[in-house]
A = this chain, B = another copy of it.
Amino acid sequence: MERPVPGGLPGEKEEERVLVSEKSWRPCPKARRRLRGCLERVKQQLFRVGEDWYFLFILGVLMATISFVMDLLVVRLYEAHRWLYQEVGDILVLKYLSWTMYPMALAAFSTGFSQSITPYSGGEGTPKIWIPPPPGSGIPELKTILTGVVLEDYLAIQNFGAKVVGLTCTLASGSTVFLGKVGPFVHLSAMAAAYLGKMRTSVTREYENKFKQNEMLVAAQAVGVATVFGAPISGVLFSIEVMASHFAVRDYWRGFFAATCGAFVFRLLAVFNSEQDTIAAVFKSDLKIDFPFDLLETFFFAILGAVCGLVGCAYLFCQRWLLAAVKENRLTAKLLATDKPVYTVLVVLLLASITFPPGLGQLMASRLTMKEYLTSLFDNRTWGVLVPNASSVAKPPGVDPQGLWQEWYHPSATIFGTLAFFLLMKFWMLILATTLPLPAGYFMPIFIYGATIGRLLGETVALLFPRGLRSEGDPHHIIPGGYALAGAAAFSGSVTHAISTALLVCEATGHLGHVLPVVLAVLVANAITQKHQPSFYDGTIIVKKLPYLPRIRSRHMASYQVVVEEFMERQVVALAKGGGFEEVLVALDASVNAEYPVVERSPTLVGTVSRAQLVAFLQSHKGRGRGGFVPTHPHCHLPKAHHLFELLKLQRIFVTRFGELVGAVSRVEVRGGGRTRGSQRGG
């Protein structure tokens, strides 16, 4: 400290300095000193590689590049399908085969590929709480990890490649399967973060610690969302809302930085690839900003929110029901256990048959890609007053962005019929698609579904009030595109129990004019869904039976009257402080907890010791108890106990009365205690 090395940081360079000064008897002191300074600076730079900012930057850039390349590949694959479908000519059977076989093959490959890799990665290492299946979005599992449960393998880098390839195939099957990319991308991002974290600790020789790991996971999730939508701010917010119950403002900083890097590079690549002239919103909309909506329209936006909330409830209920039904049904359960690709093929065949364009597909605009769905629904024109151009109907979509809406037009059903039919059919088709055992995200389809609800309601309002809502003054036409924005945000928000979808929709379209009605619709929808259904991710956690602590849904007085004493486990296997080999063996046999209380003079709790430590003790005949435990009191009320679990990410708390061990509470009991009396009112 007294002799600071130029440019050197105190503390961590001390060792180097000692080594250097030992060699100071050698000649050419000046040149040596200069060289030493150089080396010092280089070393410093190397050390800085371990710093968070570099790491977050790399993470953001990496995920943005993967996201962009994946998008490119998916577009190519999708174009190939379109070309194939166009080229087979007018023979209906060939057309049907080319329409159905392509997504079937891709989905089956996706299922099989991700299937073939996982057992390897699941086979190594120590015993785990639960080995997760690779398919699905991955967000429920991440949410569980963030509450402090260890699902180590879930972030193993070995799954990375399989998930990337599987997801690409899923996305390439396009709007037939109607699945998205957000969930798996968040998972991929978390995997990358975990891997980079391990690499970093090996470079900097810092000991890995839980704090840092968690910080990085939170940032990784933000990167995942941000690189899909190119939306840094809402990426951070959405990931926080969906994943965490509490978070540190410090983490928010990190998430922001990483997500901005990711979103920036993601959009930058689009510019380099000449897709865009400059950095702009991903789903750029041209809604007019001068007069986005009339004040009276807020009423319709609130109705839209209520409709989205109710449909959200129905969707969540049916989705949970089907997930359970598929598991219980003997046929599907058997298929899913042994022949996952067969199940995939059957489901995709059904979905593709329904969306076949010459059949029912013409009523569902099924020739559009996922991105085209959104672009068309956010169109700034009112479809009800447009006249379709007959010549361009025959053309494939995607050639003329202004003509995309014509895909929604059907001579006999009009756009109202097709929009309604789309909503009706996609409701169960989407739910069916979520049972597919392949890596896929469920946010994007929900987003599109919500936009369709909004567009239908908006077109209806525009039809009812062709001159706007005001009788006097200039007519202000109603913009159904604004309703589509609000619908997308409200429905996706209600299903995921998130409010930041309101911002997401703004950032993704680059349009802020509708922000207040959008927020209104999202709040109404959320108020309805949060009261009646768990969120999509919580629902999956429930169905998958992951060890997760749900929030106390009612903060009402009743829950403050429930005290720990009422629901704690009273038969706790404890170790005496001076206990020997045999006693430890008996305790290990008697229960399988991760941590054991250590008591003195029978009931006084003096510390805890982990199972791993006890096992080590049995093997080596030496061990040391830990004292850094957090006990609680039998009269601690339920919300406080819940708070302790949530904030300190605990798995088990010992209950002491004046130092004496009287019981223990684990997450199971907290959930149970909440159920017996606390959450009765919360429904």
Contact = CB atoms under 8 A, between A and B. Distances in A.
Interface of A: 9-12, 52-53, 206-207, 209, 211-212, 232-233, 237, 240-241, 244-250, 252-253, 256-257, 260, 263-264, 267-268, 271, 277-281, 289, 291-295, 476, 499-500, 502-503, 506-507, 510-513, 515-516, 519-520, 523, 526-527, 551, 555-558, 560, 577, 600, 604-607, 625-636, 639-640, 643-644, 647-648, 656-659, 680-681
B240 A551 contact: no
Contacts of A12: 556-558, 681
Given A253-B526, A279-B516, A631-B631, 5 more contacts: A245-B249, A246-B247, A604-B604, A607-B633, A627-B657
A512 B625 CA distance: 56
A502 B236 CA distance: 14
Contacts of A281: 512
Given A211-B555, A635-B627, A291 B277 contact: yes
A642 to B, nearest CB: 11
Given A635-B627, A636-B628, A506 B516 contact: no
Contacts of A253: 499, 526
A484 to B, nearest CB: 17
A324 to B, nearest CB: 27
Given A560-B209, A604-B604, A577 B658 contact: yes
Q: Oligomeric state, in number of copies?
A: 2
Nearest to A646: B248
A329 to B, nearest CB: 35
Contacts of A295: 268, 271, 278-279
Contacts of A240: 249
A260 B520 contact: yes
Contacts of A658: 577, 600, 606-607, 625, 627
Contact of A246 (B248, B289, B511): B248
A523 B56 CA distance: 13
Given A246-B247, A600-B659, A260 B211 contact: no
Given A211-B639, A600-B659, A628-B635, A264 B503 contact: no
B279 A11 contact: no
Contacts of A636: 628
A232 B512 contact: no
Closest 3 CB pairs of A and B: A627-B633, A606-B658, A628-B633
Nearest to A259: B519
Contacts of A640: 628
Contacts of A212: 555
B513 A263 contact: no
A209 B638 CA distance: 14
Given A11-B681, A560-B209, A293 B264 contact: no
A266 to B, nearest CB: 10
A361 B557 CA distance: 60
A376 to B, nearest CB: 20
A658 to B, nearest CB: 4
Contact of A291 (B264, B278, B526, B625): B278
Contacts of A291: 277-278
19 contacts: A12-B556, A12-B558, A211-B555, A211-B639, A232-B515, A232-B519, A233-B515, A237-B237, A245-B250, A246-B248, A260-B519, A260-B520, A264-B520, A278-B291, A279-B516, A512-B512, A628-B636, A631-B631, A647-B648
Contacts of A681: 9-12
A625 B241 CA distance: 39
Contacts of A278: 291-295, 476
Nearest to A281: B512
Nearest to A506: B512
Nearest to A263: B516
A558 B633 contact: no
Contacts of A207: 557, 560
A402 B380 CA distance: 29
B523 A256 contact: yes
A680 B627 contact: no
A630 B630 contact: yes
A249 B247 contact: yes
Contacts of A500: 233
B659 A606 contact: yes
A663 B203 CA distance: 38
Nearest to A500: B233
A207 to B, nearest CB: 7
A260 B512 contact: no
A555 B12 CA distance: 14
Given A247-B247, A250-B551, A267 B10 contact: no
A604 B659 contact: yes
Given A233-B519, A512-B512, A519-B233, A627 B656 contact: yes
A151 to B, nearest CB: 21
A260 B630 contact: no
Contacts of A249: 240-241, 244-247
A680 B1 CA distance: 11
A247 to B, nearest CB: 7
A326 B604 CA distance: 57
Contacts of A247: 246-247, 249
Given A512-B511, A557-B12, A647-B647, A523 B260 contact: yes
Contacts of A560: 207, 209
A551 B635 CA distance: 32
Given A277-B291, A636-B628, A252 B241 contact: yes
Contacts of A280: 292, 513
A680 B14 CA distance: 14
A246 B250 CA distance: 8
B512 A257 contact: no
A659 B604 CA distance: 8
A510 B241 contact: no
Contacts of A53: 527
Contacts of A557: 12, 206-207
